[in-house]
Amino acid sequence: MCRQTLHDRITHTFSVMKENIQNELQKASYVCTTADLWSSSNRSFLGVTAHWYNEETLSRKSAALACVRFKGKHSFDKIAAALSQTHANYNIEMKVVMTCTDNGSNMVKAFSEFSVKRQEPEVSVEEAVSEAESDSDSAEEGDEDNDLARVIFDSGVSEAIEASEDNVEVTLPEHMRCCSHTLNLVATKDAEKALGNAAYKKLYRQAMAKSSALWNLTSRSTKAADTTSDILGFRLSVPCVTRWNSYYEAVKKIIAANSKLAELCTALGLPLFLQTDVSFLKEYLSVMAPVATSLDILQGEQKCALGFVLPTLAILKKRLVALQVTSAEPLRASILEGIENRFGQYFQHKEFMLAAISHPKFRLAWIDDATERAMSTQMLEQAVRNNMAAVTDTKCASTAVTVPTNSSADEFFSFSAETSEEVQHHLEFLNDKDKDILMMNRHPEIKKIFLRYNTTLPSSAPVERLFSTAALVLTKHRNKLKDSTFENLLLMKINKQFW
């Protein structure tokens, strides 16, 4: 097949695929996107994925929208312009409720400058105040970690708009900081604070030094790797800096080899693990196990949603509080403190609360306090009222209004209890025992709230998976692919279901 014919086939298939994705997106009421930057072969790309619900089957749908070449400095204004253009290419500017990215300062600033908050009625004055405080805390959040460093914003909006290549107005949806990334910072940066305890520091460094020697040798020497496989029956995992949970999984493998660990170290000529080392690593695993499980849950794509965040964090805190440890106590305390510092305000945030309450898997089950359960019920009730009022206002606006000429005082002061009864009917959702997501079809008003808040994914992991596939397409033997050809091939590979 000649090169031109192949190029024409790729272009045609890509056009069909893009049209099919656009048609699917037009059927959705709400869309969530994830975005991030990726570099390979001295080239940078902006990746964008989209996620939405099929409103009939309530199944999660996903598609890769772009992996466009990103030239020059990764500045906030260029990121905003490229992301806004991608949304416009698929006609979803008004459908995207939130975009999830990592905690990079350039990403945070792009949305701080160009995000346009959706105009929706507030649940209550208290929730509005809480949300404002939460946003303020999130904006001021910062520590020695570069990813979450405090950003001093300037007034460069007009300059950024003028810098856009297409010279069009740049607008972005609301921003969602990746919860998986933030929780990973708790498990790494915040966990390091435990090293301030001298006893813990000594045990940690002693056990991890022996573990590192084992990982380094087995990863660099095929002979050592074969010896490990012969003695243990499996190979050890090696931690990867860019992979979440890698240290947990690597330590877990060492503990799994506990009975033959002495034999392995002797065969490899490495220092033996003492009983205190093994005991410490076991306690380390007991503390990090619920954190690793929480990370796996929040990085999900098909079954995860924004409503998973608060229940997951609530259970994580409960398990850590109930955990009985000795040598790893400073680690447990540091993890709990990190969760509170980084996620504490989320429990006062309207969108996170309504996402969890309206999800059939959770509803109010994750809330122990009776007062908080009552307030959450009132929040959901108010959200139902707001939706019903919006529908009523729309009907009234499209209907001619007739004003009676004669009206008595009694008629003027007549009140209807229908709205209250309808709200109570819709709140039967909270007492429904069915946890299957399709049960939402029996509660249409709650379903609207569910779709609005649970369309959002709490993690930017999908766009990271896009880059993992991109690395298989843009290899060192194919690094001369044109930018457009690379993007077409990648999106066609990811979006096979839309051909």
Burial of 251 (0-12, 13-18, 19+ CB in 10 A): buried
Question: Which of helix, strand or coil describes residue 479?
Answer: coil
CA distance 37 to 438: 36
Position 153 scores a pLDDT of 35
Round to whole Å and give the CA distance between 236 and 258: 12
Which stretch of DSSP H or E encloses residue 357? Answer: helix 350-357
Dihedral angle at the C-alpha atoms of 97, 69, 77, 146, nearest 10 degrees? 90
| Tokens read off for 470 | 């991109």
Rg of the chain over CA atoms, in angstroms? 27
Cβ contact 426:330 at 8 Å = no
Confidence (pLDDT) at 396: 57
Percent of residues, the chain, with pLDDT higher than 90 = 67
Q: What is the second-level CATH architecture of the domain 21-178+460-498? A: 2-Layer Sandwich (3.30)
Quick: pLDDT tens for 240-287: 876 768 889 999 999 999 889 999 999 999 999 999 999 999 999 999
Lookup result for tokens 């790494």:
188
Q: How far apart are CA 201 and CA 344, in angstroms?
A: 27
| Terminal Cα distance for the chain, rounded | 21
| pLDDT at site 9 | 80
Distance of alpha carbon 49 from alpha carbon 97, whole angstroms: 14
pLDDT band at 4 (very low <50, low <70, confident <90, very high): low
Q: In what order do the strands lie in the sheet containing 43-53? A: 60-69, 43-53, 31-40, 96-101, 174-177
- State mean pLDDT over 431-454: 92
- Beta-carbon contacts of residue 474 (< 8 Å; ≥ 6 apart): 40, 41, 481, 486, 490
Average pLDDT (207-228) is: 94
Q: Checking DSSP bridges between strand 96-101 and strand 174-177, what pairing results, if any?
A: parallel
Measured in whole angstroms, the distance separating CA 231 from the mean position of its chain's CA atoms is 40
Helix (H, G, I), strand (E, B) or coil at 320: helix
Look at 124 and 253; give whichever has higher pLDDT. 253
Mean pLDDT of 151-176: 57
Handedness of CA 214, 217, 219, 222 (dihedral sign): negative
Tell me how far apart the alpha carbons of residues 281 and 227 are, in angstroms, rounded to a whole number: 23
pLDDT at 335 over 90: yes
Give the residues across from 46 on adjacent strands: 37, 68
> CA-CA distance, 120 to 397, in Å (whole number)?
18
Residue 155, classed as helix, strand or coil, is coil
**Phi, psi (deg, nearest 5) at residue 451:** -65, -40
**Secondary structure of 411-435 in HEC code, one letter for each residue:** HHCCCCCHHHHHHHHHHHHHHCCCC
Cβ pair 100, 457 in contact under 8 A: yes
Mean pLDDT score across all residues of the chain: 84
187-212: pLDDT as tens digits: 999 999 999 999 999 999 999 999 99
- Record the tokens describing residue 288, joined without a space: 């990090």
Bridge-based pairing state of the strands 60-69 and 43-53:
antiparallel
Q: Where are the domains of the chain?
A: 21-178+460-498, 187-348, 366-395+421-454
Q: What is the pLDDT of residues 12-66, one digit of tens each?
A: 888 899 999 999 999 999 999 999 999 998 899 999 999 999 999 999 999 999 9
282-320 pLDDT per residue, tens: 999 999 999 999 999 999 888 899 999 999 999 999 999
- pLDDT value of residue 227: 95
